[in-house]
A and B are shown apart, each in its own frame.
Chain A
Amino acid sequence: MFFILLKKELFVEFRSREVTLSMLVFGLSIILTFAFSSNVSPTIIANYAPGMFWIMVLFVAVIGVHRSFSYEKEFDAFSMLISAPIDRGFIFLSKWISGFIFLTIMEALIIIPFFKFLMIDFPSQPWIAIGTTMLINCAIMAIASLVSGIAMRARLSEVLLPVLLFPLVSPVIIAATKISGSIMAGDPFSFWQIWLLIVLTVIVIFGLVGYTLFDFIAEE
């Protein structure tokens, strides 16, 4: 059932391209703003780059999950999912994994402009960077999908979503900046393994909590 739901998320997105496109354009405009507002020496930018990257990802993730949950409200489409005889936890899982896929696609498209516009060198171990980035995306999306599920039917959901999400996601952002910073600096794994552990903990805990709680919060 999870794969049916995931397929639906991907298919709806394939049709409209609303989520990925809005994420991509928003991400690009953030990079542009960063480039204009940090017109300083390249070494300083290189130090700040991991932080900038994850701030951008966080903003873009908010746009993505908000869109992904608000199209469910058009024509009352969400009713199809929650009135169907399926475990609602799977709705959370499909939103989470599809959000993770969209975020990763967006990053794949945006990473080269990001490095080139801000004039930063590519990391020396690209595969490790890609692997850790995907894990962090997964952690961010776990929290974002859960919070979006809570906020989607509330009034002012577009305000509540970032207000609730940013503090909740702060451990992931700290870990993400540390991991990316270490990889960019070429530090050994033992320097940043603790941060990877934190990211994995978030994935496991929020995955389980989201799966369990969604049954109670999905209803109108």
Chain B
Amino acid sequence: MKIFLNNKTNRTWFVLIIAMMLFNVWNVIVNTPMVPEQHWAQKIFYVHVPSAWVGFLSYFVVMVAGIMFFIKKDDHWDDVGLAAAELGTVFMALVLITGPIWATPIWGKPWIWEPRLTTTLILFLIYIGYFMMRSFGGHVERVKRYAAALGIIAFVDVPIIFVSVKFWTPEIQSHPQVEMAQQPSGILTSFLLSLGIFTLLYALMLTYKIHVIRIKNNVGSNV
């Protein structure tokens, strides 16, 4: 962390994004209007949806890194892929935790096979396998290629999973954000703000994670 913050650009971004995140939390708690039937539970929406967006973005980064790894055969892309996979899984876990918290007061039960949530769960499980492969699969040099391939097929599978789950349970309502246009403007602006800040936070975390993985690899190779 210290080495990472020695770089001036990193330090500026770090402070800036922390400040933005604090503002975001304050904004969500104090400024956003209450939704009548959902009360406080609805506030988690400002964390849940951006986490889901960042999680999927991160898995998309894993796929791109996988493709680049195969084309360029450069370990840099493996570092990017691993960092994005770890962060993506953290955010997906957040989605899976915040989802039931939000769902309990609205749907009356913690889990419903809602397409987006189900896709998240399936993807989360695929990535648990991915990390099992990374840690138990054998030589790191060999596992790199398998991980890259897995990152590609996992993301290719996403639209297929989503469509099939959607048609599997057609009676289940989608998230409220589908009707975003009808929401009061206070919600929309704050939501988009939160989305933006989460994305920036993700970018910072990704840079930091890649940095850490680099250091770890260098230490490993000097033993």
Contacts and interface: CB of A to CB of B under 8 A. Distances in A.
- Are A and B direct contacts in the complex by CB distance below 8 Å? yes
A194 B167 CA distance: 8
A214 to B, nearest CB: 9
B16 interface: no
Contact of B153 (A194, A198, A201, A209): A209
A171 interface: yes
Contacts of B143: 154
B102 to A, nearest CB: 24
A2 interface: no
Interface stretch (A25-33, A71-79, A161-169): A161-169
B22 interface: no
Interface stretch (A111-119, A130-138, A145-153): A145-153
B129 A171 contact: no
B220 to A, nearest CB: 19
A219 B144 CA distance: 12
A171 B161 contact: yes
A170 B122 CA distance: 8
B157 A171 contact: yes
Nearest to B69: A216
B122 to A, nearest CB: 5
B132 interface: yes
Interface string A192-220: 00110010011001100100010011011
A156 interface: yes
A40 B160 CA distance: 35
A178 B169 CA distance: 11
Q: Looking at B123, B126, B133, B138, which has the most chain A CB atoms within 10 Å of its CB?
A: B133
A122 to B, nearest CB: 26
A205 B161 CA distance: 13
A25 to B, nearest CB: 27
Interface string A155-196: 110011001101110110011001000000000000000110
B157 A160 contact: no
Contact of B156 (A153, A198, A205, A219): A205
A168 B133 contact: no
A167 B164 contact: no
B82 to A, nearest CB: 16
B166 to A, nearest CB: 10
Interface in B75-124: 122-123
Contacts of B128: 163
B140 to A, nearest CB: 12
Given A168-B153, A168-B154, A213-B153, A198 B164 contact: yes
A162 to B, nearest CB: 9
Contacts of B148: 216
A160 B137 contact: yes
Nearest to A149: B149
B160 A160 contact: no
Per CB-CB distance, the 10 closest pairs between chain A and chain B, nearest first, are A171-B164, A154-B137, A164-B129, A167-B125, A163-B129, A167-B126, A155-B138, A171-B160, A174-B164, A167-B122
Given A156-B136, A167-B126, A206-B153, 5 more contacts: A171-B165, A195-B164, A209-B156, A213-B152, A217-B146
